[in-house]
């Protein structure tokens, strides 16, 4: 579970960012490149503005939803509101 602030630009889905308490940005691509959970495929809950919104990028899902699923999470729960 992550709670904080997020940012999403529908014209650039892979620029989706969530911000930690100290302001450190985490880009959605970080989650795509990882291999989380293995056979367990955990659920990730991102309680941050707009990070539940995805977008298409070169025929694949981008943003936090697409990148987290690609990185091995079994499900993504994220906020759609600003």
Integer Cα distance of 81 and 57 in angstroms: 21
| Mean pLDDT, residues 20-38 taken together | 84
The pLDDT tens digits for 46-68 are: 888 888 888 777 777 888 898 89
* Contact status, residue 45 vs residue 21, Cβ threshold 8 Å: no
* Contact status, residue 50 vs residue 12, Cβ threshold 8 Å: no
Residue 17's φ and ψ, nearest 5 degrees, are: -140, 140
pLDDT at 25 over 90: yes
Integer Cα distance of 69 and 67 in angstroms: 5
């Amino acid at each position: 579970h992550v709670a904080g602030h997020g940012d999403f630009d529908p014209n650039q889905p892979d620029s989706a960012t969530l911000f930690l308490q100290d302001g450190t940005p985490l880009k959605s691509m970080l989650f795509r490149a990882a291999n989380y959970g293995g056979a367990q495929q955990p659920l990730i809950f991102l309680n941050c503005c707009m990070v539940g919104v995805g977008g298409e990028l070169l025929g694949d899902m981008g943003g936090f939803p697409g990148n987290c699923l690609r990185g091995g999470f079994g499900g993504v729960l994220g906020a759609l509101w600003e």
